[in-house]
Structure 1
Amino acid sequence: MHKPLLATEFLDRARRNYGDQEAVLATDGTRYTYDELGDRADRFSAVLQAKGVEKGDRVAILDPNTHYHLEAAYGSIQVGAVHTPLNYRLVPDDFEYILSDAGVDVVYADYEYAEKIDAVRDDVPTETFITNDADAVAGDWESFDELVADADPDAYERPAMQEDETITINYTSGTTGDPKGVCRTHRGETIHAYLISKHQEISDDDVYLWTLPMFHVNGWGHIYAITGMGARHVCTRGVDAGEVFEQIRTEDVSYFCAAPTVLNMLSEHHDEHGGATTGENDVRVATAGAAPPEATIRAVEEEFGWYLQHVYGATETGPLITTSDARRYFADDSEDRFAVKKRQGFGYLGTEIRVVDEDGNDVPEDGESIGEIVVRGNQVMDRYWNKPEATEEAFNDRVEGYYHTGDLAVVGENGMIAIQDRKKDIIVSGGENISSIELEDTLFEHEAVADVAVIPAPSEQWGETPKAFVVPDGDVDDSPVSTEELRSFVSERVASYKTPGEIEFVAELPTTATGKVQKFELREREWADEDRMVGEG
């Protein structure tokens, strides 16, 4: 028989089997059971339908990792609305674009970030604005808690849904032009959650600490997997190293996800303050993207006593598609494990990973031949929202029917992949994608900038950070503008995390005979002392 794979099944299962068990520790210390979490989601579903939200309408959520995000997400999904999480680090102009592009009907925004939405509310199609602390927010906002308290949990009607229908739109960080809405179906979300439940070894007695933003591809699918398995969510409002260790100790955290930069923060904090690194449970931590340096892996496993899992993917791919957690190829106490764990690894179950050359042919498994990573799997996105041409290119550039990641890699023995560089000029700083083109365009707006090139440069804190090479409109040794003035100029126009960490004045940029800037030469110089030109690898 055929049973549709629906994203609603995860909370349904948790309520059915773990209703009286603790589901969530909120940031204010309140503890909710799965029955209580489900009741609040039902009430929010009733609120949405009372406001005219129908199946297929978009509901945006701008929230740090609080219980409100979980309630709003499931409340939206239960009425067939499309969950559209927003990156709280963006600026009002970004939100104006996304809310307009997606045609968002309702916004729930945490009180700390609501002003960014309020600044553009007259320029977007959104009609309903809800927050968790209306008294703390200027403008006309409705209270989430008051709406939920007044709603009848039995009043909403769950529409019939099909597994091939879009249930989530995750916006990319706009690495090439405007952000793109990544459409994910019930089926894609469900299968991805099944995959991470297996590969990340999620079980009902796990205690999951939310350090990874829930807006990042639905927290890498953990809003579904942790819930569906009946495990516990420990919520946070951002990452504070001291709080992370405190929660691990007091709540017996067993699992969390952290970008390499977060692992470095934890290592530095522990070096300075010491203290226990576990509670009663063993701890495993998943990190993604550019591999953390060996020193960080050593600190995590040898000093903290945690088990590190290195995974890889992209917003368009679920995100997770590979893992280096191949324990038949290393012993837990072997020095060989570091070489394995720094690779992006094998494809997940049911996931086909290839590395292909310009002609679409697989590169040799020699650890040297570089090609682009392409992937095919049930967790990969359905399409880009209202961008058929971009969708067509993404799935058919070198090889028909595969999503093209834009990451360049080699394939070693046993088929493990290792990323070497990036096809596009993407900078990944602290887990966030930053467009070099956007920064170059912004710097070009300054009258004192004659030419500019932006590349990723090594950063101990963030893995990599934007660095701008600027040709000033004047003498390089007597520039009409200072580097700090340029950084301030940029920070006023883009999200703070995108601001170049360093600006260097140069007399000219390296170019080809046709005048094209050779960024590779700049990257080679900046990464000369590193193993390779990706993050801290």
Structure 2
Amino acid sequence: METPLVVTDFLEQARNHYADEEAVVGADGDRFTYAELGDRVDRFAAALQERGIEKGDRVAVLDPNTHYHLEAAYGAMSIGAVFTPLNYRLTSDDYEYILSDAGVDAIYADYEYAEKVEEIRDEVPTETFITNDTERVDGEWESFDVAISDTDPDYDEPEMAEDEIITINYTSGTTGDPKGVCRTHRTETIHAYLMSIYHEITSDDTYLWTLPMFHVNGWGHIYAVTGMGATHVCTRGVNADEVVDAIREEDVSFLCAAPAVLNQLIDYYENNDQPEMSGANQVRVTTAGSAPPEATIRAVEDEFGWYLKHLYGATETGPLITISDAKRLIDDENRFEIKKRQGIGVLGTEVRVVDEDGNDVPQDDETLGEVVVRGNQVMDHYWNKPEQTEEAFNDRVEGYYHMGDLATVDENGMIALRDRKKDIIISGGENISSIELEDALFDHDAVADAAVIPAPSEEWGETPKAFVVPSNGDAENPPVSAEELTDYTRERLASYKVVRRVEFVEELPKTATGKTQKYELRKREWEDEDRMIGEG
């Protein structure tokens, strides 16, 4: 028997079976049962329809991890609108591009970030603007709470098919313009199933939102945690003492955290007389991407008493495609070595490491190849970018999404990232285009040439570093300081993209055709590391 997989079923499952159980602990302290959450979602769905939003229209959500984010997302998807979450760390120019590119019809924006949208509202096609606190926002914005209180919970639910696009997640690529990753009901649903399995989510879990909900829809946890009837504990940001307080007070059992967040928690633990790091429940934590150092894993597991899992993926892949939590392969002697690897492919997912001819590399843990993947959780396509879609799926091997990461494979088929093929820097879990940073630097009169690469960072895993040829050709006495160039990029780019380190050089290494050899710069910068990719 075949039934369509649609994401709205996750909330329906929870409200049908756990109506009176706590669904959400809001960042503002408000608490909602699944019946109450469902009612607010229904009312927001009806309010969107009253404002002319229809199936297929795009609804953007710009919000930290609050209950409004969950309500706006499910409200939009309930009427078949395409949920389009926005990174709250971007600039107004970034929002202008995304809202225009996606043709966003309505936006819900948290009061803290609405100003960035207000600055460009006359330049975008968006017509409906909703926020959670109109008193703290300039311009004509509607109140979320007033809208749902003035609206009955009845709305016209359209028929939805599992192959229809239900969410667009924008991600930074190797060029300056973000790409919209289109994901269907089917890809989101199957990915949520995988997350439920590999994160062992159950109805009595309490999940703490330190991972941004805008990141691939919170790695699918807006679906998985909801569908299992577990409790969401929301946060407005990551502050170590508040995170630890929430874990203890709410008896948190599960959270996700980038290596940089784990390091913040370790610093807090060491500087505050090693406080208790859990409540009544055993804590599981998942980190992602480039591996955390052994010292981080040791502190989290041996000092905090938590259980750590390490997964790997990308916005385009759900993200989950591999996980290091292969318990039958782990013992006391190899625990840290295995947990630092990206791991083995998850169920229903074919993960390969291939050479330039598309052939699988030997499982010798030495031969480099590019990671390629296919599975039911992989994106459908890039929004309005057919050429980039074609390349992403057919560069070395036809029909596989190409991750842009270089890895080795061991005798058990476990992959380990060693380098990055793309001009992407991943700092604290955020994708940063090195080309975008170079473009910003080139606009400065004192910069004759520049190359930006990832440099090792204990806090962030890797951080942008610029090698700059000054306009006067004198690396010892450039006409601009490193601090001035850092400030220059800060004025033009989102805060997390700022060039943190600058080294003046007389020339950049070039090929015979004049192309900058970034590989040589990376090799020099990472010579003391065992891989040329960041460990947070």
TM over 0.5, shorter chain: yes
Instruction: Please state if 1:4 is matched with 2:24.
Output: no
**Partner SS state of residue 492, structure 1:** helix
Q: State the Cα distance separating 1:495 from its structure 2 match.
A: 0.5
Q: 2:491, 2:119 → 1: CA distance?
A: 15
Q: How does 1:287-306 map to 2 (within 5 A)?
A: 287-306=287-306
Q: What is the distance in 1 between the residues matched to 2:456 and 2:173?
A: 22
Aligned to 1:194: 193
Map of 1:300-315 to 2, 5 A cutoff?
300-315=300-315
Shift of 1:450: 0.5
Aligned partner letter, 1:219 = G
Q: Which amino acid aligns with 1:7?
A: V
* Separation (CA, whole Å) in 2 of partners of 1:253 and 1:536: 26
**Offset of residue 425 of structure 1:** 1.4
Map of 1:15 onto structure 2: 15
* 2:385 maps to which of 376, 379, 387: 387
1:461 aligns with one of 446, 459, 462: 459
Amino acid at match of 1:489: Y
Amino acid at match of 1:227: T
Deviation per residue, 1:393-416 (Å, 9 max, x gap): 111111111111111111111100
Secondary structure of the structure 2 residue equivalent to 1:169: strand
The Cα shift of 1:30 comes to 1.1
**Shift in Å, 1:177:** 3.2
Residue 526 of structure 1 deviates from its aligned partner by 1.3
How far apart are the structure 2 equivalents of 1:496 and 1:235?
23
Deviation at 1:293, TM superposition (A): 0.3
How many Å apart are 1:330 and its aligned residue? 1.2
Partner of 1:350: 348
The alpha carbon displacement at 1:514 in A equals 2.2
User: Who is 2:519 aligned against?
Assistant: 520
SS at match of 1:265: helix
Q: What residue number does 1:94 align with?
A: 94
Pairing partner for 1:340 from 335, 338, 341: 338
| Cα contact 2:301–2:307 (8 A) shared by 1 | yes
Give the C-alpha shift of residue 5 in structure 1.
0.2
Name the aligned partner's letter for residue 369 of structure 2: G
Q: Residue in 2 aligned with 1:421?
A: 419
Structure 2 equivalent of residue 136 of structure 1: 136
Tell me which amino acid in the other structure corresponds to 2:190. Answer: I
Deviation per CA, 1:352-389, whole angstroms, max 9, x where unpaired? 00011111111111101111111010000001111111
- Name the counterpart of 1:280: 280
Deviates more, 1:520-529 or 1:56-65: 520-529
Residue in 2 that maps onto 1:269: 268
Once the 2 structures are TM-superposed, how far is the Cα of residue 522 of structure 1 from its aligned partner? 1.2
8 Å CA contact 1:530, 1:536 repeated in 2: no
Give, in whole Å, the separation in 2 of the partners of 1:389 and 1:461.
36
Structure 1 contact 58–106 (Cα < 8 Å) conserved: yes
CA distance in 2, matches of 1:451, 1:388: 32
CA distance in 2, matches of 1:36, 1:170: 28
Query: Take 1:313 and 1:42, find their aligned partners in 2: how far apart are those partners?
Result: 33
Deviations 1:79-112 (A, max 9, x none): 0000000000000000000000000000000000
Q: Corresponding residue for 2:246? A: 247
Give, in angstroms, the shift of residue 515 of structure 1. 1.8
- Alignment-mate amino acid for residue 189 of structure 2: T
What secondary structure, in the 3-state scheme, does the structure 2 residue paired with 1:477 have? coil
Gaps of 5+ in 2: none
Counterpart of 1:358, as a letter, is E
Distance 1:26 1:359 in 2: 51
- Aligned counterparts of 2:251 and 2:491: Cα–Cα separation in 1: 42
Q: How does 1:390-469 map to 2 (within 5 A)?
A: 390-469=388-467
Q: Is the 8 A contact 1:301 1:307 kept in 2?
A: yes
Q: Which residue of 2 aligns with 1:488?
A: 487
Partner of 2:109: 109
Q: Distance in 1 between matches of 2:57 and 2:514?
A: 47
Asked if 1:471 is matched to 2:438, the reply is: no
The Cα shift of 1:132 comes to 0.2
Q: Is contact 2:165–2:184 with CA below 8 Å preserved after alignment?
A: yes
Give the partner amino acid of 1:96: E
Contact 1:173 1:434 in 2 (8 A): yes
Check whether the contact 1:175–1:433 (CA below 8 A) recurs between aligned residues. no
TM-score, with length taken from structure 2: 0.99
Q: Which one-letter code corresponds to 1:169 in the other structure?
A: I
Q: Does 2:27 correspond to 1:27? A: yes
| 2:408/2:415 contact within 8 Å kept | yes
Structure 1 residue 464: deviation in Å?
Answer: 0.4
Displacement of 1:335 in angstroms is 3.2
Q: How far off is 1:430 after superposition?
A: 0.4
Report if the CA contact (8 A) 2:173-2:424 is conserved. no
CA distance in 1, matches of 2:339, 2:535: 14
Give, in whole Å, the separation in 2 of the partners of 1:162 and 1:485: 53
CA deviations on 1:265-313 (whole Å, 9 max, x unpaired) are: 1001110012110100000100000000000000000000000000000
**Aligned with 2:476: secondary structure?**
helix
* Matches of 2:391 and 2:174, distance apart in 1: 16
| Contact 1:61–1:85 (8 Å) recurs in 2 | yes
C-alpha distance in 2, partners of 1:236/1:473?
A: 46
Partner of 2:256 in structure 1?
Answer: 257
Partner of 2:216: 217
Work out the CA distance in 2 between the residues paired with 1:460 and 1:392: 36
Q: Structure 1 length normalisation: TM-score?
A: 0.99
Q: Distance between the aligned counterparts of 1:330 and 1:400, measured in 2?
A: 34
Structure 2 residue matching 1:177: 3-state secondary structure? coil
SS state at 2:45 partner = helix
* One-letter amino acid of the counterpart of residue 370, structure 1: L
Moved more, 508-517 or 121-130: 508-517
* Structure 1 Cα separation of the partners of residues 406 and 90 of structure 2: 28
Q: CA deviation at 1:533?
A: 1.0
Give the corresponding residue for 1:168.
167
- Aligned-pair identity in percent equals 72
Residue number in structure 2 paired with 1:56: 56
Contact 1:61-1:73 within 8 A present in 2 as well = yes
Q: CA deviation at 1:174?
A: 3.6
What is the aligned length?
A: 534
Distance in 2, matches of 1:356 and 1:460, equals: 30
Give, in whole Å, the separation in 2 of the partners of 1:348 and 1:127: 42
C-alpha distance in 2, partners of 1:443/1:63?
30
CA RMSD in angstroms, aligned pairs only: 0.8
The whole-number CA distance in structure 2 between the counterparts of 1:520 and 1:89 is 29
CA apart distance, 1:342:
0.5
What is the SS of the residue equivalent to 1:12? helix
CA shift for structure 1 position 501: 1.1
Alignment partner of 1:325: what SS? coil
Q: List runs of 5+ in structure 1 lacking aligned partners.
A: none
Q: Indicate the larger mover: 168-177 or 275-284.
A: 168-177
Output the CA distance in 2 between the equivalents of 1:295 and 1:309: 15
Q: Tell me the secondary structure at the aligned position of residue 310 of structure 1.
A: strand
Secondary structure of residue in 1 paired with 2:412: helix
Separation in structure 1 between the aligned mates of residue 101 and residue 284 of structure 2, nearest angstrom: 38
**Distance in 2 between the 1:271 and 1:368 partners?**
37
Inter-partner Cα distance in structure 2 for 1:112 and 1:3: 41
Q: Deviations over 1:419-448 (max 9, x none)?
A: 110111110000000011000111000010
CA distance in 1, matches of 2:333, 2:501: 36
Q: Distance in 2 between matches of 1:514 and 1:173?
A: 28
Separation in structure 2 between the aligned mates of residue 58 and residue 515 of structure 1, nearest angstrom: 43
Q: Which residue type is aligned with residue 496 of structure 1? A: S
